[in-house]
Amino acid sequence: MEPSSPASAGPLTGPLAAARRVVVKVGSSSLTSEQGGISERALGDIVDALAALRLRGAEVVFVSSGAIAAGLAPLGFARRPSDLASQQAAATVGQGLLMHRYAERFARHGLVVGQVLLTSEDLVRRSHHINASRALERLLGLGAVPVINENDAVATQEIRVGDNDRLAALVAHLVKADALLLLSDVDAVLTRHPDDGGVRIPVVARESDLDAVEASRPGTGIGTGGMATKIRAASLAADSGITALVTSARRLSDVVRGEDVGTLFPARGPRQPARRLWLAHLADARGSMRVDDGAARALRTRRGSLLAAGIISVEGDFTAGDAVEILDREGALVARGMSAYDAADVPRMMGRSTADMAAELGEGYDRPVVHADAMAVVA
């Protein structure tokens, strides 16, 4: 059956009224059939709604799960495997199949798609970040719809973003989006499971608006997210100046028409660099460094770099480039940042000036342990 013509009359309304660039994320559970493969009907409905959004004047960046799910049946898997190598194998098969379907369906609306595969390093390391930003800006400038997924085929556990809700929040910052739509198989953030009488929370203007939310039941087992990850991603976007909406994929057409659906997280903070967002809220710390009172005070007030002279202890097994927590003498979190050194190198540097380290330990030890540009102060 041919898709209906995208709505083209009138400007965007509702939560998208002021949005000229929108990041839309859809989860695996919204794309799969009861048999576990990709549902052509669900995929088609999502693409048709995105095409309507694009043809109404908004630039669209599409963050899509489903690559692993699409690759399960061709490789003979009855369910999603638990080991990373098998997931990577399924992703290598599924990515091509999924993109082929997207390319065909978007083409019916005269739209071209371009695949972009990312890992967390592409979003936080400056050279990778710049390249990813440049590629996405060029795709959008050429009128294409970027289709983004985490690079499951090569990402190790250490460099995975972890779920596509996190990825979508980071991408929204990367492309300076005006709005973020997080789509799943649940119509909104509910006070509890719908089978238990849960009701919709229409707007989350502040954290206290979520006090009524009870723990949700486990998901389907197909995806890796859940309502908790969507709430975190939407809150992070809102706190950083991006309006976010959590709803179901089947309500996407209603969103495009401006109807009151889902749970809205209005923008309520200034924009932040993507690297600081990741460090402050999303990074999995591989270790910690405890600092003296002077260093803690300097980090909190002057937002400077962490020098070895202020470190009093180190814990964990991290390597250069890993995220670490910086704690004060009492163990309270001061900041998160990317260490410039391996954990094994830090003990012999503690309490020493940068000049002393460079003179005694040689070239390469004349830089901060955590540079201010790779740090997010959180307390």
User: In this structure, which amino acid lies at residue 199?
Assistant: V
Does one domain contain both 42 and 133? yes
Summarize the confidence of residues 174-180 as an average pLDDT. Answer: 92
Check whether 375 is labelled as a binding-site residue. Answer: no
Domain boundary among 239, 273, 307: 273
Check whether 225 is labelled as a binding-site residue. Answer: yes
Does one domain contain both 37 and 124? yes
Look at 121-125, 137-141, 278-282 and tell me which has the smallest mean pLDDT.
121-125
3, part of any domain: no
Does one domain contain both 174 and 90? yes
367, part of any domain: yes
Top-ranked range on mean pLDDT: pick from 60-69, 79-88, 158-167: 60-69
Tell me what pLDDT residue 179 has: 94
Does one domain contain both 221 and 309? no
Q: Which two tokens stand for residue 161?
A: 């973003």
DSSP 3-state percent helix, strand, coil across the chain (nearest 5): 40, 20, 40
Tell me what pLDDT residue 1 has: 39
Number of other residues whose CB lies within 10 A of the CB of residue 88: 18
Does one domain contain both 289 and 341? yes
Summarize the confidence of residues 142-149 as an average pLDDT. Answer: 94
Cα(349)–Cα(305) distance, integer angstroms:
15
Does one domain contain both 211 and 252? yes
Q: Residue 104 sits in a domain of what CATH number?
A: 3.40.1160.10
Check whether 308 is labelled as a binding-site residue. Answer: no
Summarize the confidence of residues 88-100 as an average pLDDT. Answer: 90
Q: Which two tokens stand for residue 335?
A: 């900041």
Check whether 195 is labelled as a binding-site residue. Answer: no
132, part of any domain: yes
Residue 269: strand, helix, or coil: coil
Is the pLDDT score of 7 beyond 70?
Answer: no
Q: Which position has the higher pLDDT, 195 or 126? A: 195
Check whether 224 is labelled as a binding-site residue. Answer: yes
Distant-in-sequence, close-in-space partners of 224: CB < 8 Å, separation ≥ 6: 162, 163, 164
Please check whether residue 322 is in contact with residue 339, taking contact to mean a CB–CB distance below 8 angstroms.
Answer: yes
Tell me what pLDDT residue 35 has: 66
Mean residue pLDDT of the chain comes to 84
Is the pLDDT score of 282 beyond 90?
Answer: no
Nearest to 72 by CA among 97, 45, 104: 97
Tell me what pLDDT residue 379 has: 64
In total, how many domains does the chain have? 2
Check whether 1 is labelled as a binding-site residue. Answer: no
Half-sphere exposure (Cβ direction) of 86: Cα atoms closer than 13 Å: 13
Check whether 51 is labelled as a binding-site residue. Answer: no
Check whether 228 is labelled as a binding-site residue. Answer: yes
Please check whether residue 83 is in contact with residue 91, taking contact to mean a CB–CB distance below 8 angstroms.
Answer: no
Tell me what pLDDT residue 73 has: 86
CA–CA distances in Å: residue 369 to residues 74, 216, 290, 353:
48, 41, 12, 11
Is the pLDDT score of 3 beyond 50?
Answer: no
What is the band of 151 on the pLDDT scale with cuts at 50, 70, 90? Answer: low
Tell me what pLDDT residue 5 has: 44
267, part of any domain: yes
User: In this structure, which amino acid lies at residue 24?
Assistant: V
pTM comes to: 0.75
State pLDDT tens for residues 211-236. 877 655 444 444 444 788 888 889 88
293, part of any domain: yes
Domain boundary among 217, 244, 273: 273
Tell me what pLDDT residue 293 has: 95
113, part of any domain: yes
Q: For residue 289, what is the enclosing H or E element?
A: strand 287-291
Nearest to 336 by CA among 310, 295, 297, 299: 299
State pLDDT tens for residues 230-249. 888 898 888 888 999 999 99
Is the pLDDT score of 161 beyond 80?
Answer: no
What is the band of 46 on the pLDDT scale with cuts at 50, 70, 90? Answer: very high
Does one domain contain both 184 and 138? yes
Summarize the confidence of residues 11-18 as an average pLDDT. Answer: 72
What is the band of 80 on the pLDDT scale with cuts at 50, 70, 90? Answer: confident
The bridge status of strand 333-338 relative to strand 375-377 is antiparallel
Summarize the confidence of residues 101-114 as an average pLDDT. Answer: 96
Tell me what pLDDT residue 107 has: 97
State pLDDT tens for residues 287-344. 999 999 999 999 999 888 999 999 999 999 999 988 899 999 999 999 999 999 999 9
Q: Which position has the higher pLDDT, 152 or 284? A: 284
Does one domain contain both 86 and 115? yes
Check whether 86 is labelled as a binding-site residue. Answer: no
Check whether 226 is labelled as a binding-site residue. Answer: yes
User: In this structure, which amino acid lies at residue 107?
Assistant: A
Tell me what pLDDT residue 219 has: 42
Does one domain contain both 182 and 55? yes
Does one domain contain both 243 and 370? no
Tell me what pLDDT residue 159 has: 34
Tell me what pLDDT residue 51 has: 95
Look at 79-88, 153-162, 314-323, 328-337 and tell me which has the smallest mean pLDDT.
153-162
Please check whether residue 310 is in contact with residue 293, taking contact to mean a CB–CB distance below 8 angstroms.
Answer: no
23, part of any domain: yes
Residue 32's DSSP bridge partners are 38
Per the rule left: phi > 0, alpha: psi between -120 and 50, beta: everything else, 66 is left
Tell me what pLDDT residue 55 has: 87
Q: What residues make up the domain containing 321?
A: 283-377
Check whether 301 is labelled as a binding-site residue. Answer: no
Handedness of CA 84, 86, 87, 88 (dihedral sign): positive
9, part of any domain: no
Q: Residue 311 sits in a domain of what CATH number?
A: 2.30.130.10
Does one domain contain both 250 and 298? no
Does one domain contain both 269 and 294? no
DSSP annotation of 83 reads: S
Q: Which position has the higher pLDDT, 363 or 21? A: 21
Domain boundary among 273, 299, 332: 273
Please check whether residue 64 is in contact with residue 43, taking contact to mean a CB–CB distance below 8 angstroms.
Answer: no
Summarize the confidence of residues 120-125 as an average pLDDT. Answer: 64
Is the pLDDT score of 255 beyond 80?
Answer: yes
